[in-house]
Every structure is written in C-alpha cells, then in structure tokens.
Structure 1
C-alpha cells in the first residue's frame, strides 16, 4: 500500500542530517527535475524582491528566502519529520513504535512541488515552494512533473491511497488511486464538505494506514479496514471513499 500525503507550507527548522544529496533520494528518475528546481529556487533567492513576488511572500517572511538560498548546505531531516501542521500533528510519527514507524516509512510518501515525491526516510532541508507557484523562465510545475512523476505513480504495483490536496494531485494524477472525501454530518442528517479541519481527519486516516499490520489490496478491503477502526466510511462504487464525521467531532477532535 502506498499512501500519498500533501506537504505543508510550514516546515520544522534545522535538522541533524547531512546537507541535501539529490542522488540519495528515492525515485532517482526524478533527480533531473529536482536538480533543476533546486537551482532555480537558489538563483531566485538571490533577488529577494523577485523571490517574494514569485513565491507570494511578505517582507516579514525573509526567513523563507534564506531557506531556499541554503538548499544545498542546510541540515536535513527525514521527510516525515520535516513537514508540520494539522495533518502531520494528527499523523504524529514521533509517537509511533519502532515497528509502526518502519511501516510508515515504507508506506507513506509526500507529494512535493520541489522534490516530486519523497519517502518517509528521504533527508530533505526546509524549503518554500507551493504547487501553484510559477518560477521565472521555467515551465509550470505540472509541465515539469507530470511526464516523470505520473509514470512513477502508475507503476507502483500497490494499492495507492491519494490523500493529496487538489493542487498536488494536479501535478501528476495517480491513475486508479483511491481518494478520500471528508464530509460533516449534522444531527438533522444534512452534510457539508469539511474544509478547515479536513487535514486533521486525513491525518488520522494516514496514521491508521501507516501503522496497521493489514495489507488491503483494493478499495473494498480498504473500506472494511477503516470501518473496523470505527470510522464511518461510505463507498458508492469506483475508487472514491467518503469519510463522514459528526459535526460535533469536526471541531472537538481537530
């Protein structure tokens, strides 16, 4: 099973790992695009005004530019420890047992605008680049990533559960992947899309899938696994699952 996670704008700072070595990252076929984007971000950081405009940053976010300027020299962290925010708080890899963390490292991968896809143990620095960013003198990120990342995902040979946000799915869709929508259900039975707390619930799903000893081979078995864990999951056919969360739980547990 391969579970695709979105990245986060926020990153844990620092790290104890050696500086970025693109050749050591998983999926070496992505190295040429990774190298091109790393070089472009470092060059862009040398012009703070242009970098802030391209990356959508305010003058107060100068630290983000400093991170991009130091991509090849900054210390690294494993990818699952680099990203932070609501989804990663719910995933909470630091609380996992050794066996659970080993499964998480095998099963989880993060979609990244800069690196394409990174596995849990891939050592990466903090950086700033979003899926919708346009970089000067380069094609769109979708144009760069889709030809190399799309085939990589297509030949995974595993059940793929795609929890990425829409902008990261657009960089390279994972054909045949199971997706999960989150809906809030009110006491009267009416439902609405969960927006702000969507990441927290997907983070809990990701933790379950990362740590379970089960190996679901298709969407039906995946649905059964989630239901056994006490989640209200609906499947109307195809590869889309709907996680239904009581309205009171949306806020209380997020």
Structure 2
C-alpha cells in the first residue's frame, strides 16, 4: 500500500533536523524546466499567477532567482520535515525514528506542483507552486498538462516495489489528486474521508480533515499497516470508523461534537 499526501504552503527551514538521512527527487530535469519558466516571471507576474501578496511574490521571485540545481543540506531540507501545514502537524515527521522514516520512504508519496512526486527524505528547496496554478509551459497551459502521466507512472514504479495489496491510499486534496492520471495508474484507489458532527449533521471541515489526513498517515507508519482492512482501527483525536457510511474503497471516519 502506498499513501499520497498533498504538500503544504507553510514551510519550516529553521527547526533543527535530527536525521541525516536524505535523498534526491526523481524528476530533477522537469523541476529545472519549471524553475526556468518561473525565473522569467517578475514578482508582479507571480503575484497575479498565484494570488500572492506583494511580499510573498517578492519572496518567491527571490527563491527562484537563487535556485541551486544540485542542492545540499545547506540549501534544502527533507520534504516531510520542510512542509509544515495542517497535514504535517498531524504527521509529526520530526518525531519519527530513522527506521520509521526509512519505512515511510517507500510507502509515502507527497504530490507537488514543482517536484511532481516526492519521497519523505527527498531534499527540496523553499518554493511556492500549487498544483492548480495555470502556469503555461511548452507542454500546455496547466501543471496538470505539464506532468501528464509522469506522476502516475512513478507511483506505479513504487507500487511495483512493494509487497502486499496494490493499493493507493488517497490522503490528498482533490487539487493534488487530480495530478494522477487514473488511466495510467495501475492500482486500486482507496479514499479516507474525515467528518465532524456540526449542527446535527456530518460534515467535512477542511481544517480538521487536513490534520486528520496527516494523523492517518502517521497511524499507518506507526503500525506498519499494509492492508486496507487494518486502517479501520484508526481512532486518533476522537475519530472512529463509521461502517454504515463506508464502502470498500471509501472509508469514512467520524468524530462526534
């Protein structure tokens, strides 16, 4: 079983990193091509393209101008330790042992507009490029067109190397999961849905759902889960499996008010 997560806008390049384990992303040439396109844009262009404030646009223009083609640990950080949004607060990757990081390296994929797909220990430089950005390249008008079936084929390669169920566990947002060409993907897709009780109804509340996706990824790593049926034991922070709302490929977890 292979998990997929979305990245985060919020980054942490300041907190000391304990582990020395690191790897390099699998699509360096594609990333360099995108960086080349972004380097030709002004801060104003980036602000309009990504709906950024002037300060954030200048910051990202500076990031792309200073890009290093072969970064080391001084310029980059492991992806699972660099991303710092709601999902990653649930994942708490900095608390994982080296043995757990090694296990997750093979079983966790982070989708990325700039890098395509990342392993937890892949070194990444600070960036901002959401998958839904309509960035025109030689391959088309969007990042979905740019990546084509590359992401799906890389996930296939990683699934080929794993034993157990050939399952892709979708813990990503719709924006990022759309980057996977389902026709090219050779795997059963299982989705986890996290609902909270609000005003007497069950609702997906974005903030809570993002954190819960990270909590589920951490649960899988902590228990070295390989089979879909073992996911039903997830009970972090008050969530519990709701069999009456679930199906074989859509596992629903609910948390009462």
- Closer/same/farther in 2, CA of residues 195 and 14 from structure 1, 3 Å limit: closer
The alpha-carbon distance between structure 1 residues 32 and 147, as it changes in their structure 2 partners (threshold 3 A), is: farther
**2:108 is equivalent to residue 108 of structure 1:** yes
Q: How does 1:38-187 map to 2 (within 5 A)?
A: 38-44=35-41, 47-61=42-56, 62-72=58-68, 75-138=75-138, 139=140, 140-155=142-157, 156-157=159-160, 158-173=166-181, 175=185, 176-185=188-197
What runs of 5+ residues in structure 1 fail to find an aligned partner?
A: 18-23, 248-254
Report Cα offsets for 1:2-41 as digits up to 9, x if no partner: 1111101111236999xxxxxx7343xx344222112212
What TM-score, normalized to structure 1?
0.80
Preserved CA contact (<8 Å) 2:225 2:231 = no
- Residues 229/194 of structure 1: CA separation in 2 closer, same or farther (3 Å cut): closer
Residues 15 and 33 (structure 1 numbering): CA distance in 2 closer, same or farther, change over 3 Å?
A: farther
Residue correspondences, number:
233
Shift of 1:229: 11
Task: Supply the distance in 2 between the matched residues of 1:178 and 1:232 (Cα, whole angstroms).
Answer: 17
SS in 2 for 1:109: strand
- Secondary structure of 2:242's partner? strand
Aligned to 1:242: 252
Q: TM-score, normalised by structure 2?
A: 0.79
* Structure 1 residue matching 2:67: 3-state secondary structure: coil
The alpha-carbon deviation at position 148 of structure 1 amounts to 1.3
Q: Return the alpha-carbon distance in structure 1 between the equivalents of residues 208 and 35 of structure 2.
A: 32
2:229 maps to which residue?
220
Contact 1:87 1:203 in 2 (8 A): yes
> Relative to 1, partners in 2 of residues 1:37 and 1:31: Cα closer, same or farther, differing over 3 Å?
same
Q: Using the alignment, how far apart are the partners of 2:97 and 2:191 within structure 1? A: 27
- After superposition, the Cα gap between the structure-2 partners of 1:108 and 1:186, relative to the gap in structure 1 and judged at 3 Å, is same
- Pair 1:132–1:228, CA change in 2 (3 A): closer
